[in-house]
Amino acid sequence: MIWLIALSCAADPDTMHLRLDPDGASTPTGRLVGWNLGRGSLYALPDDPLHPAWRTEARTRALAEMGALSGPGDARPILRFSGLQIDGVMGADGYHWETWAAPDRAPDPSDNLSAAQLMALMAEADAEPRITVNFGSGTAAEAADYVVHLTGTDPSDPRVAARQAWGAAAPLEVSTFEVGNEVYGWWNTGNSASGDFSYANPAAANGGDPAWHGRPASDPGDFAARALAYVEAVAAVHPDARLRLPLSQADFAGWGDTATALDALAPALAHPAVDAVVVHHYQIDDALALGVEDRDAPALVMAGTALFAPRYAALRDALDALPEPPGVAVTEYGVAGFFSRGQFDLGDTAAVGLGCADLMIAYAQWGIEEALLHMALAPDDVDAGEVLLEAWYPPHKVVDGQLVEMPSFTVTRLFADHLLARTLPVEALDVPEAEGEGYTYPLLHAAGFTDGAGAATLVVLHRGLDAPATLALALPRGWAVDGAVLWAPSDWDAPENPPIQDLDWRAARWGAELTLPPHSVAALSLVSR
């Protein structure tokens, strides 16, 4: 009855209504605060013998700010050492741990992070690690050796001694590993048998992987069989390891379509150590792959998840039909990715923050187990010329000598401050819809959360471009709004990152009413009285 009163009291035709029941059915909230550590992320130990210049005040401060964010239940942020730099891209070689652990190596400008440097980064961020093993230009045996190098404790083992010699005495506490990166894509070195370093190429510069010559990852069955060998090799040296297998970008066209891919991957997914499939989601890049033409449309940036929602739902249905349904981890996401290079003109604008809000709300709604924002720890070196480093990746930048947050970080911080252990459905009533390119979307996009002990939150993205919206939030008897904050840029594509500010609300017997500026993100704190 209280909710019916809310609808009659907020009779203004321009009012949009949301209904939230913090005492109702809920689902576990995924780990939605995390970072995918992309190429260009360089860091060093104190007194690093090779690259002391990699340890800058700006990077140390940016890393500390990232580490200060937590997930639901004060969970540590997740950091994944990724991606195409690990597997190799366009036939080039990927990451080989022995290269960076060699005791006599000299510094080179092209160097990547060693295990010791990576572990210093993880420790200083107090992050929960995720490690990708090299599928495209590596072998299963090398992957197992890498896991021992990172996690082993026996100093008589040369793999462990090689890590300890560079200053990392204690092992990395990691149990989650990803078998390759975007192996279904033509750009991955292991996707063909012709790349200079492809494991499937008998003439590869490093010899390839003889047992798998002529069997590139472009065939999902061959990928699954080889991935299973990786899973078994890693599990043999790390009995508690949990492994994840790449599935697709968010266009869900990896290996043709989801059904084809899952049918081929089924033998590997059945291994008890495999707990999730991996999706990478770059909103603009993946939408263009589906035929969308306007990459800079505000609807795509702020509401593109409406285009992908049916595809994620179909994936979940297909996974639930398996004997042991795996989870879904989005281990890379962003508003735009590599294929927007030189074409995405909104990288330094509020659009990136609004797009991140759209994605994080959707991942909460869809039950995604983990979502990691692609980034680069390069606040002071954005123009380094790295092939896999785009200007919009760093969550912090140095501007006029000062470290400043970018919109992606500020919105993630707002979201992190309001994540609770369980996710609640939000019912939209009288919320107008707008048209995107081949999809429709509601002007309000929201997710609710509860701790199950008298506290709840609501995060709302207002996707409108021109006019403020009056939001009438209906709550059950005994619940009330206790606080609200707002991130509201002056325009959706303004080159700015406004601070998070307090937001006024008007208490009502049925809940609360508040005004949302256009293109804004609000978060409400609720209490049970």
Q: Quick one: pLDDT band at residue 492, thresholds 50, 70, 90?
A: very high
**56, amino acid identity:** T
33, 416 contact by CB (below 8 A): yes
Cα 239 to chain center, whole Å?
26
Tens-place pLDDT, residues 278-326: 999 999 999 999 999 998 999 999 999 999 999 999 999 999 999 999 9
Choose among 122, 110, 116: nearest CA to 81. Answer: 122
Q: What does the pLDDT look like over 455-483, one tens digit per residue?
A: 999 999 999 999 999 999 999 999 999 99
pLDDT score, position 366: 98
Q: Which DSSP string do the residues of 63-128 spell out, in sequence order?
A: HHHHHT---GGGPPPEEEE-SHHHH-BTT-----HHHHH-TT----TT----HHHHHHHHHHTTPE
Quick check: 82 pLDDT over 90? Answer: no
Instruction: Give the gyration radius of the chain's Cα atoms.
Output: 23
CA distances (Å), 104 to each of 100, 154, 160, 402, 486, in order?
Answer: 10, 22, 16, 37, 53
Domains of the chain: 2-26+423-528 (2.60.40.1180), 30-416 (3.20.20.80)
Q: Please, is 404 exposed, middle or buried when counting C-beta atoms within 10 Å of its C-beta (0-12, 13-18, 19+)?
A: middle
Distances (CA, A) of 54 to 35, 101, 210, 309: 19, 17, 37, 40
Residues ≥6 apart with Cβ < 8 Å to 201: 192, 193, 194, 195, 208, 213
Contact 217, 209 (CB under 8 A): no
The per-residue pLDDT for range 347-405, each reduced to its tens digit, is: 999 999 999 999 999 999 999 999 999 999 989 876 555 656 788 889 999 999 999 99
Mean pLDDT of 138-144: 98
The better pLDDT of the pair 179, 74 is held by 179
* Mean pLDDT, residues 253-265 taken together: 96
Confidence band of 93 (pLDDT split at 50, 70, 90): very high
* Average pLDDT along the chain: 94
Query: What is this structure's pTM?
Result: 0.95
Of the given ranges (178-187, 203-212, 379-388), which has the lowest mean pLDDT? 379-388
pLDDT band at 436 (very low <50, low <70, confident <90, very high): very high
- Compute the distance between CA of residue 188 and CA of residue 180 in angstroms, rounded to an integer: 9
CA torsion sign for 345, 347, 348, 354 is positive
Residue 109 pLDDT: 87
With CA atoms as reference, report the closest residue to 58 among 74, 42, 36: 42
- Rounded to the nearest 5 percent, the helix, strand and coil shares of the chain are 30, 25, 45
136, 189 in Cβ contact below 8 A?
A: yes
409's torsion region: left (phi>0), alpha (psi -120 to 50) or beta?
Answer: alpha
User: Rounded to whole angstroms, how far apart are CA atoms 201 and 210?
Assistant: 8
Q: Produce one character per residue of 2-21: b if its CB has 16 or more CB atoms within 10 Å, e if not.
A: ebeebbebbeeeebbbbbbb
Task: Answer yes or no: are the C-beta atoms of 208 and 200 closer than 8 Å.
Answer: yes
pLDDT of residue 103: 87
pLDDT exceeds cutoff 60 at 413: yes
Is the model's pLDDT at 4 over the cut of 50? no
129 vs 242: CA distance, rounded Å: 12
Within 8 A by CB and 6+ apart from 39, the residues are: 83, 84, 85, 112, 376, 386, 387, 388, 389
- For the CA atoms of 46, 50, 53, 57, the dihedral, rounded to the nearest 10 degrees, stands at -20
- Distance from C-alpha of 325 to C-alpha of 318, rounded to nearest angstrom: 9
Is residue 7 over pLDDT 80? Answer: no
Please tell me the predicted confidence (pLDDT) of residue 387: 59
CA-wise closest residue to 256 among 221, 292, 283: 221
Q: For 87-103, what is the mean pLDDT? A: 93
Quick one: DSSP state of residue 170? S
CA distance 406 to 487: 13
346 vs 335: CA distance, rounded Å: 10
* Strand-strand pairing, 327-334 and 506-508: unpaired
At residue 6 the predicted structure's pLDDT band, cuts being 50, 70 and 90, is very low
